[in-house]
Amino acid sequence: MQLKDQAAIVTGGASGLGAATARRLAAAGARVAVCDMNAKLAESVAAEIKGVAVVCDVADAASAEAAIAAAAKAHGPARVLVNCAGIGVAKRVVGRDGPMPLADFERVIKVNLIGSFNMLRLAATEMSKLAPQSTGERGVIISTASVAAYDGQIGQSAYSASKGGIVGMTLPIARELAQFGIRVLTIAPGLFLTPLLGGLPQEAQDSLAAAIPFPHRLGQPDEFASLAMHMIDNPYLNGEVVRLDASLRMAPK
């Protein structure tokens, strides 16, 4: 995918993995819409990369439609969508106060899984109308799963289910959108130094890092962004879920 002067959308773009990806895309010459619920942070990142900030609740159909329209008004229809928006709530199915509230499970599924699909379906529709580039491509869509889709821990039932859904929908959607020259991919990151983990005490961060075979540290958001950029750049990569976890699955139980 040729990125120079092309429009791109990054959800969850105000911080962490999304912000790093937005910066990489802008550095490659793309015009980036930073979509996030946090307007202040989104505006800060957008100003830094000379993009546009768009407030968006990915789990809401109307909000997502408005975000896609606002991004297109600013930069034209997007050829790239990177879904980084997501939440993670750790709760046991059976806790001290009884069963996990169903609303808690539903919220994680709605934001992570339905939100990713929501943005994907809207962006893909607009991409399908674009003229193909010289490679035959009309667009690239990358979603964010997690190693929890494969190796979920106690308390991650909702999170693992939501990320497993993203993994499961990647290939069938890639097969469907191939007719339009739209590639669909997913990254499954391991333990990354995002705002969620960055807020933990250093001792807790070190304990998590010790479980990683090599290198013995948490992943950096720019390493996620680097993989996203390779996926966008490589036209023969399609329908894949790539784990980015420093072989965390090899860690001793």
The pLDDT of residue 217 is: 85
Render each residue's pLDDT in the chain as its tens digit; 253 residues: 999 999 999 999 999 999 999 999 999 999 999 999 999 999 999 999 999 999 999 999 999 999 999 999 999 999 999 999 999 888 999 999 999 999 999 999 999 999 999 999 999 999 999 999 999 999 999 999 999 999 998 999 999 999 999 999 999 999 999 999 999 999 999 999 887 676 667 777 777 778 888 888 889 999 999 999 999 999 999 999 999 998 877 644 4
Query: How far is 78 from 80, CA to CA, in rounded Å?
Result: 5
Of the candidates 158, 175, 191, the one whose C-alpha atom is nearest the C-alpha of residue 239 is 175
Q: What is the dihedral of CA 120, 64, 197, 102, to 10 degrees?
A: -90
Residue 238 CA, distance from chain mean position? 16
- Alpha-carbon separation of residue 182 from 85, 113, 179 (angstroms): 21, 20, 8
Query: How far is 46 from 33, CA to CA, in rounded Å?
Result: 7
Q: How many residues does the chain have?
A: 253
Query: How far is 30 from 49, CA to CA, in rounded Å?
Result: 10
Element (H, E) at 185: strand 182-189
Residues 6 or more apart from 126 whose CB is under 8 A from it?
A: 68, 72, 77, 78
Query: How far is 229 from 185, CA to CA, in rounded Å?
Result: 12
The pLDDT of residue 252 is: 47
The pLDDT of residue 63 is: 98
pTM of the model: 0.94
Query: How far is 209 from 248, CA to CA, in rounded Å?
Result: 10
3-class secondary-structure state, position 117: helix
Domain ranges of the chain: 7-190+220-238
CATH of range 7-190+220-238; options 1.10.1200.120, 3.40.50.920, 3.30.70.360, 3.40.50.720: 3.40.50.720
Amino acid occupying residue 102: L
**Phi, psi (rounded to 5 degrees) for 98:** 110, -160
Catalytic positions, please?
A: 159
